[in-house]
Chains A and B, each alone.
Chain A
Amino acid sequence: MIVEIGHYALALALGVSVIQAVVPFWGVFRQDRTLASVGSSAALVSFALVALSFAALVTSYVRSDFSVGNVVANSHSAQPLIYKFTSVWGNHEGSMLLWVLILTLFGALVALSRRSLPPRLRAGTLAVQGLVAVAFLAFTLLTSNPFQRLAPVPAEGQDLNPILQDLGLAIHPPLLYIGYVGFSITYAFAVAALIDGRIDAMWARAVRPWTLLAWTFLTLGIAMGSYWAYYELGWGGWWFWDPVENASFMPWLAGTALIHSTVVMEKRDALKVWTILLAILTFSLSLLGTFIVRSGVLTSVHSFATDPARGLFILLILIFFVGGSLALFAWRAPLLRQGGLFAPVSRESALVVNNVFLATACATVFVGTLYPLLLEMLTGDKISVGAPFYNATFVPVMVPLLLLLPIGQSLAWKRGDLLGAAQRNAVAFGLAVLAALALLFFTRGGPVLAPLGVGLGVFLVLGAGFDLAERIVTRASGWQAMLSRARGLPRSAWGTALAHAGIGLSIIGIAAQAWSTEAITVLKPGERLTSGRYTIVLEGMSPRTGPNFRAEVARFQLFAGDRELTPVEASKRVYTARAMPTTEAGIRTDGLSQAYVSLGEAQDGVVAVRLYDKPLILLIWIGSLVMALGGGLSLTDRRFRLAAPKRAAPAGAVQPAE
């Protein structure tokens, strides 16, 4: 019964979404306020229905209702409760339902937001969002129905892919989807503005919190996915330039550009047409990602069961939304009022430079991801594009951008002073160069580029810190004055500084991986293996039984030089339902570094062991967290707070520079 309710609610949500997509447009066309405001109610109802449907699927999973095909294929009665729960989105059908849930959630949030949106814009945005929901609800119902019943009910389920039986699955997809799908709102805003033919700073201010929200979650989602792959797959890497990783990275790059261009639009009423295009492209890249992941056209870690019908359906959705919005753009954009001019040396110009580089970087990833597909279609040759390609293309585009970042950040709006900005960053730059030189000296004979990378990271962190300090610390004023200045700084200024420092931290972590070391050997109990700063001694192997797996656990003593650290355990598991082996790496955190132990085959009392020394690797993810924190902090800025009371600014009050 619950299953049927879930299915029915989903079908009903499709109907309501059709109303949401059509009626507001009709209302705007007829100048009828009541009709135009139907979108809000429809968005709320649609979300409630999808939430009900999702709850029904969750219930079937938690109860291990094996009359549902989807539950049988991806769950097992012996699974711990948490994995029964997360199995819901550990498969194609269930994750589509999560996708749609988040899509309608964003629609409902727009409907609820008290911000004073122009009614036409709100109606248009909700209608476009409704249209996206129609497409994906139809896709889910027609090709990926998670509520399909099975005729003879099997006694036991086939279990979830063991690799997915991990807390990472609980966190990574929801975060990532909130990011991915969140960009649908900026897309909807852009298309609505194009239809309306009006766009101004008000539009930018309305869109910015949504962009920030989506970007923040996408940052967290990507970082979480990277850490999960790092500890779960036992290969010791954290990024593989896999097509599916790129599929989430491209919207991130475009979204990062979008965040910056909306600032220009909000402050200076410029870059309008470009911002609209960027908003469309960002969500288009999200859709492309969905297509790549779910159609199976590219071989990847993440591919779900491939079904040509699904691939074709998503391709049609992709063509409709990308093609439709770009056609609309080509038709309407020339009609938009031109934005203001700005001086070549100014904050706004620096942000344009940011956009040029980010868009180019995104294009290199795009080419690397899709070129193999194109080549195979044209010539039948199969190729793989991996890290060497991106190191030769993406990295050289990003480095100048990051070098310019602290300078751009300290330029003033309207008319900047390049020399002054350079001077303000001279100390940070000098210290960064010193750090790089010192590292080069102490690691003579090692990698040469890594110290420079660390230097770049240090420059970004110091640049962000000094920029903040500059605004807080003034000569001839006490600490109280500074404190009040610090408090007076807008949250978005803190957010900017944190996000930029976060990139710096991540870059230090990434660069430091050039010093990571790896050793492989076979060990008997009592034997030792050294890699970099770490040494392990195999104490012994012992069997262990989990709820739905058997494991062979190897226990190691761990030493960093002479210092003994907490022992570390690595294991091989065999999940009984699928008879599938997995490797559980043993990871010991030592400051910001990690010792990483992974097992190979065990036979005759010896076991193959791989030990990595991963210096400063945690900085990669800590940096991402700091970036996301920056995004979150900006989001709480007074300007964006949903339903924030407007603070009446006294006439002539000085706005702190941002």
Chain B
Amino acid sequence: MTIAQPTRPLPAKRRFTRKQRRLTLIAAAGAVLFVAAGLVLFAMRDTIVFFYGPTEIAEKGVLPGTRMRLGGLVETGSVQRGAGQRISFSVTDGKTSIKVGYDGLLPDLFREGQGVVTEGVFEGAGRFKADSVLAKHDETYMPREVADALKKQGHWQAGSSGSPAAAPAKP
């Protein structure tokens, strides 16, 4: 813009416009927020994954086919390796255990007797198909959800929680 435009005399309806413009702005912003709120509510229904411990699955009556996170301890002696990367292990909270099938690389700190969080689909009848196993990033760390699930079943020893934390190990 190199030419300064002569300022046009403002139209007579100026007093009207301030309010009008503000209303337009508020309406437009409101519309964007409204749409976003709709998207959020819609997404809340479909994209959110619940976390359960093995006992809670039965207690809360989780239906087979539900996508969820399962957390607990890897039961000692339960890890079995199949062909390729196939692996199965049991996740327990000391009271109930669920058999988990997984096909992929395990995180570095996956061990028997240690805490684990897996995400996948509950298949019913105590079976779970995991598509990701979340790793810990520190030896002493216990994912909070796992700690809570264990506490509920009375299998929690204090002092086993620590510093840095669980991280995604996508399959």
Give me the interface of A with B, judged by CB distance under 8 Å: 91, 161, 163, 233-237, 240, 242, 296, 299-306, 341, 344, 352-353, 356-357, 360-361, 363-364, 367-368, 371, 381-386, 388-389, 391-393, 396-397, 412-413, 415, 520-522, 572, 578-583, 598, 600-601, 608, 610, 654, 657
Q: When the two chains form the complex, which single residue of B43, B138, B163 contacts A389, counting CB atoms closer than 8 Å?
A: B43
Contact across chains for A240 and B32 when beta carbons are under 8 A apart: no
28 contacts between A and B (CB under 8 A): A161-B163, A161-B164, A163-B164, A240-B167, A240-B168, A299-B143, A299-B165, A302-B165, A303-B163, A344-B21, A344-B24, A352-B25, A357-B32, A368-B40, A382-B148, A384-B48, A384-B51, A385-B49, A388-B46, A389-B44, A389-B48, A396-B35, A396-B39, A520-B104, A521-B84, A521-B85, A580-B108, A580-B138
B39 touches A356 (CB 8 A): no
Cα separation A72 to B169 with both chains bound (whole Å) = 29
Interface residues of B in 118-169 (CB under 8 A from A): 119, 137-139, 143-145, 148, 161-169
Bound complex: CA of A242 vs CA of B148, how far in Å? 20
Bound-state CA distance A384–B143 (Å) is 13
Please report the C-alpha to C-alpha distance between residue A301 and residue B143 in the assembled complex, in whole angstroms: 10
Asked if B29 CB lies within 8 Å of chain A CBs, one says: yes
State in angstroms the CA–CA spacing of A135 and B106 once bound together: 43
B50 and A385 within 8 A (CB): no
From known contacts A237-B170, A367-B40, infer whether A392 and B46 are also in contact, taking CB-CB under 8 Å. Answer: yes
Complex: A391 Cα to B144 Cα, angstroms: 26
Q: Is the CB of A389 within 8 A of B47?
A: yes
Q: Does B28 contact A (CB under 8 A)?
A: yes
B63: Cβ under 8 A from any A Cβ: no
Q: Name the CB-closest residue of B to A299.
A: B144
Tell me which of A242, A300, A356, A397 contacts B29 (CB under 8 A): A356
- Could you tell me if A397 and B49 are in contact, using CB atoms closer than 8 angstroms? no
CB pair B139–A578 under 8 Å, yes or no, is: yes
User: Is the pair A233, B167 in contact by a Cβ cutoff of 8 Å?
Assistant: yes
Which residues of chain B are within 8 angstroms of A384 by Cβ–Cβ distance? 48-49, 51, 69, 119
Query: What band does the interface of chain B fall in when counting residues whose beta carbon is under 8 Å from A?
Result: 35 or more
Chain B: which residue is nearest A397 at the CB level? B36
Residue of A234, A240, A299, A303 with highest tally of chain B CB at under 10 A? A299
A464 to chain B, nearest CB (A): 19
B58 at the interface (CB under 8 A from A): no
Chain B: minimal CB distance from A198 (Å):
22
B161 touches A306 (CB 8 A): yes
Task: Chain B residues near A91: list those with CB within 8 A.
Answer: 163
List of B residues within 8 angstroms of A654 by Cβ: 2, 4
B94-109 CB mask vs A (1 if < 8 Å, else 0) is 0000000000111011
Residues of B within 8 A of A (CB): 1-2, 4-5, 17-18, 21, 24-25, 28-29, 32-33, 35-36, 39-40, 42-44, 46-52, 69, 84-85, 104-106, 108-109, 119, 137-139, 143-145, 148, 161-171
> Within the assembled complex, what's the spacing in Å between the Cα atoms of A582 and B108?
6
- Cα of A364 to Cα of B37 in the assembled complex, Å: 8
Give chain B nearest CB distance to A247 CB in angstroms.
14
Chain A residues contacting B33 (CB-CB under 8 Å) are 360, 363
Tell me the bound Cα distance from A299 to B4 in angstroms. 58
Residue of B18, B52, B164 ringed by the most chain A CB atoms within 10 A: B164
- List, in ascending order, chain B residues with CB within 8 A of A296's CB: 144
Shortest Cβ distance from B103 into A: residue: A520
| CB pair A341 B18 closer than 8 Å | yes
Cα A388 to Cα B46 with chains together (Å): 9
Are the CB atoms of B170 and A235 closer together than 8 Å?
yes
A389-B44 Cα distance, complex, nearest whole Å? 7
CB distance from A528 to the nearest CB of B (A): 15
Nearest-CB distance from B148 to chain A (Å)? 8
Do B32 and A364 touch (CB < 8 A)? no
In the bound complex, how far is the Cα of B105 from the Cα of A240, in angstroms?
Answer: 18
Chain A min CB distance to B77 (Å): 18
Question: Is the Cβ of A235 less than 8 Å from the Cβ of B165?
Answer: no
| A299 partner, pick from B48, B52, B145, beta carbons under 8 A | B145
Instruction: Give every chain A residue within 8 A of B171 (Cβ-Cβ).
Output: 520
Least Cβ distance of B38 to chain A in Å? 9
Rounded to whole Å, the gap between the CB of B40 and the closest CB of chain A is 5
Chain B residues within an 8 Å CB radius of A360: 32-33, 36
Also in contact, A301 and B69, with CB within 8 A (given A383-B49, A396-B39, A657-B1): no
Shortest CB distance B145–A (Å): 5
Q: Given A388-B43, A657-B1 in contact, is the A608-B85 Cβ separation under 8 Å? A: yes
Given the complex of chains A and B, what is the CA–CA distance between A235 and B42 in angstroms?
29
Contacts A161-B138, A344-B21 given: A610-B46 contact, CB under 8 Å?
A: no
